[in-house]
């Protein structure tokens, strides 16, 4: 897929497009109830569009000088398994590194653990439930994982 055709935007609050994607994926498709929270107002939101259609989003926020949390990572069903998730994560990680981030954390749905592992994230701790879905804490440490 030619990612040069994709538009990337960053927002300091959820946009109507990021809300649309999260409602479609997490609420309608996966049945989550408490999708939106106070962290939405202090996060950076990324939107990827293709031909002006919103197709992927995520958010990230800083929790310490070097630590950031990535969350609400969603790709519209029709665009999955085409490399868009990898592209989205590369843009998130670039922005986090630009902002001094060294450790990236996320709460992965267990079904997506392999995807995040393929991007260099490591599972830490026990499996837990977030609403009705099994999750696991995962991290990627720029200081350790990116040094060649």
pTM score: 0.92
Strand pairing class (67-75; 103-109): parallel
CB 50 within 8 A of CB 6: yes
The lowest-confidence range among 4-8, 10-14, 83-87 is 4-8
Tell me the pLDDT tens digit for each residue of 103-143: 999 999 999 999 999 999 999 999 999 888 999 999 999 76
**Tokens standing for 136?**
């696991």
- Tokens 């939405």, residue? 40
DSSP summary character for residue 27: I
pLDDT confidence tier of residue 47, bands split at 50, 70 and 90: very high
Q: How confident is the model at residue 147 (pLDDT cuts 50, 70, 90)?
A: very low
148: confidence class by pLDDT, cuts 50, 70, 90 = very low
Phi and psi (nearest 5°) for 26?
-80, -40
Closest CA to 11 of 41, 45, 58, 36: 45
- pLDDT of 146 > 90? The answer is no
Going along the chain from its start, the domains and CATH numbers come out as: 3-145 (3.40.630.30)
**Mean pLDDT, the chain, as a whole number?**
93
* Tens digits of residue pLDDT in 53-68: 999 999 999 999 899 9
CB-based contacts of 64, cutoff 8 Å, min separation 6: none
User: Which two structure tokens, joined as six digits, stand for 40?
Assistant: 């939405």
pLDDT of res. 145? 58
In the chain the beta strands, taken as DSSP E runs, fall at: 6-11, 44-50, 53-62, 67-75, 103-109, 122-130, 133-141
- Taking alpha carbons only, the member of 62, 140, 145, 64 closest to residue 108 is 140
Of residues 112, 107, 57, the one with CA closest to residue 87 = 57
């Amino acid at each position: 897929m030619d990612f040069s055709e994709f538009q990337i935007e960053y927002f300091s609050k959820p946009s109507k497009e990021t809300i649309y994607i999260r409602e479609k994926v997490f609420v309608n498709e996966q049945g989550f109830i408490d999708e939106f929270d106070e962290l939405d107002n202090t996060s950076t939101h990324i939107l990827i569009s293709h031909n002006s259609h919103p197709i992927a989003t995520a958010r990230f926020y800083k929790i310490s000088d070097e630590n950031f949390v990535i969350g609400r990572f969603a790709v519209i069903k029709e665009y999955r398994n085409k490399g868009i998730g990898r592209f989205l994560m590369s843009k998130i990680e670039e922005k986090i590194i630009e902002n001094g981030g060294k450790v990236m954390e996320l709460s992965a749905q267990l079904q997506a653990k392999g995807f995040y592992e393929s991007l260099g994230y490591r599972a830490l701790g026990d499996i837990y439930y977030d609403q009705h879905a099994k999750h696991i804490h995962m991290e990627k440490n720029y200081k350790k994982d990116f040094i060649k």
